[in-house]
Amino acid sequence: MSSQRTHITRQGNATLRHRCTGCGGCCQGVRIPVYNDQERAKVERAAAHLDIPDPIQDDALRMSKGRCVFLADDNRCRIHSSLGPSAKPIPCLQFPLIAIKAQSAPNTGSEFRIGIDPASYGAWQSWREGPPLPDGPIVAASPPAPGGQDRVEAQLVAMCEDPQASVPGLLSVLTREPAPRGVLPPGFAKRWASHLSSIDFEPFLTNEGVGPNLRAALKPVTASACKWASGPLPWPDRLSSNDEAWAIEAIRRTIFLRLLPQIPNVSAAALLLLGGVVAAAWTDPRPEPFNRAITGWQRALRFSLFWQTLASDRETMVWLGTGQRPNSAGAAS
Ligand code: SF4
């Protein structure tokens, strides 16, 4: 069992804003780790009180049909309702706040990073004007360092922090394909449309662990993908600047908080995150469906199965990013 956790205290040096919508989506299709024996005892006590068998599986809260076994039908946490918030496991207690001790390349130390999980379904509605999270003690995880890619990680975070950043612009930099402002790099758009239209998403969507909220959030995008076989759509000018800004902030948080540790290449993770924003915008750029889709995409990418469904092999990632097939003489964009 992993016990690489550090207790730190957050004191409002950065205002983190969030309002929970109570949808229960964050308790579905997710792995909630049980950090140590003390946490294990706490969860088992709650389960005994609520008459829930086998609450822990593989050092995490057990999921049933993609839902935490403690989640009631009305999407309320039964531990919270029956025993109070302090009886919940630590990740649930401090959610949506995520804290990490970010190890850097060997001998360059580490730093604490704190942020709100961008894959919380309500995050897009309250990231600017929601109530500030209270200060208090928190527990920081220690995800693996992105092997030797600290500089790339810092560059990507800085690019997302630029107030002038745009989704087409970030894709242009990542793919090294120039494009006029507000226009998707045409080679990437063509490759991405053709790639998505060729994918069978059903095995992922029907996987029991995905859970109903994530399935519903992702379904409009996967159902639209087959239409893109005839070619990419333009970057929609109907997408609001606020929604584009949130999409970029969500990508920044995912990279900064190292929320995709299973994707070994930070640039590849950024490309897939940006690709998800493009797919959501092509599907429906109106605020509610667009933001729901990008939240689902962010959450889905945390599943190895989704990442593998999209492009886990180096050859496909290189092709998506550059149009080149490794070990092949010609471009294939
Ligand atoms: S223990 Fe409660 S808060 Fe935590 S995932 Fe389960 S239902 Fe959600």
Rounded distance, CA 201 to CA 155, Å? 32
Domain interval for residue 186: 150-322
Percent of the chain past pLDDT 90, that is, above it, reads 70
**Same structural domain for residues 313 and 171?**
yes
Rounded distance, CA 254 to CA 251, Å? 5
Q: What is the pLDDT of residue 147?
A: 76
Q: How far is the CA of 95 from the centre of ligand 1 (A)?
A: 10
Residue closest via CA to ligand 1's atom 2 equals 77
Split at pLDDT 50, 70, 90, the class of 105 is: low
By residue count, the chain amounts to: 333
Q: How far is the CA of 244 from the centre of ligand 1 (A)?
A: 30
Terminal Cα distance for the chain, rounded = 45
**Same structural domain for residues 89 and 236?**
no
Percent of the chain past pLDDT 70, that is, above it, reads 92
Q: Which residues line ligand 1 (CB under 6 A)?
A: 27, 32, 61, 68, 70-71, 77, 79, 88-89, 92
Residue 226 has pLDDT above 70, yes or no: yes
Q: What is the pLDDT of residue 144?
A: 78
Residue 328 has pLDDT above 70, yes or no: no
Q: What is the mean pLDDT of residues 113-117?
A: 91
Does pTM top 0.85 for this prediction?
yes
pLDDT tens column, 43-63: 999 999 999 999 999 999 999
Q: 15 vs 73, which has greater pLDDT?
A: 73
Rounded distance, CA 192 to CA 175, Å? 12
**Same structural domain for residues 180 and 70?**
no
**Same structural domain for residues 61 and 195?**
no
Say if 229 falls within a structural domain: yes
**Same structural domain for residues 205 and 256?**
yes
Rounded distance, CA 43 to CA 38, Å? 9
**Same structural domain for residues 186 and 98?**
no
Q: What is the mean pLDDT of residues 252-270?
A: 93
Split at pLDDT 50, 70, 90, the class of 248 is: very high
Q: 188 vs 142, which has greater pLDDT?
A: 188
Say if 10 falls within a structural domain: yes
**Same structural domain for residues 223 and 312?**
yes
Token couple for 105: 């390349």
Q: How far is the CA of 97 from the centre of ligand 1 (A)?
A: 14
Residue 300's nearest CA partner among 291, 288, 309 is 309
Say if 68 falls within a structural domain: yes
**Same structural domain for residues 188 and 310?**
yes
Specify the number of domains making up the chain. Answer: 2
Instruction: Find the helix or strand (DSSP H, E) in which 5 lies.
Output: strand 5-10
Say if 15 falls within a structural domain: yes
Domain termination residue (choose one: 141, 169, 187)? 141
Residue 331 has pLDDT above 70, yes or no: no
**Same structural domain for residues 237 and 290?**
yes
